[in-house]
Amino acid sequence: KQEVTQIPAALSVPEGENLVLNCSFTDSAIYNLQWFRQDPGKGLTSLLLIQSSQREQTSGRLNASLDKSSGRSTLYIAASQPGDSATYLCAVNPMDSNYQLIWGAGTKLIIKP
């Protein structure tokens, strides 16, 4: 059964730092992996989608990588800003379950001004 883990559960860093959030999964048979952002009391915003054949995706200051063989993905945030404060979730789309994303519990990120 696919399991997704995000470590750390919470992270607090000063503004301006580059940081990395981690997502690991137990079964490499996935179609894709998606990173989301969730602000308090809000819905989820899709940040990046990495297909299983891709190694990385970039959007602005965000870069997500995928290493299927090791079951890992990272979300790199460059030059962090207080507005980046949110909970970041990763979800994998497993090949053996067409309709169900498997979710990590999220990393709560706080960027201190």
- Give me the residues that bind another protein (CB under 8 A), please: 31-32, 34, 36, 41-46, 49, 51, 89, 91, 93, 98-101, 103-106
Question: Toward another protein, which CB reaches closer, 13 or 101?
Answer: 101
* Gap between the Cα atoms of 23 and 33, Å rounded: 10
Q: How many helices (H) and strands (E) does the chain have?
A: 0, 11
CB of 43 to another protein, least distance (A): 4
User: In angstroms, what CA-CA distances link 3 with 6, 13, 42, 90?
Assistant: 10, 27, 25, 11
Would you say 46 or 70 has its CB closer to another protein? 46
Residue 46: CB minimum distance to another protein, A = 5
Give the residues across from 62 on adjacent strands: 59, 77
Q: How far is the CB of 41 from another protein (least distance, A)?
A: 8
Contact 61, 33 (CB under 8 A): no
Cβ distance to another protein smaller for residue 89 or 111: 89
Q: Between residues 37 and 77, which has the closer beta carbon with respect to another protein?
A: 37
Nearest distance in Å: CB 25, another protein? 14
AA identity, residue 102: I
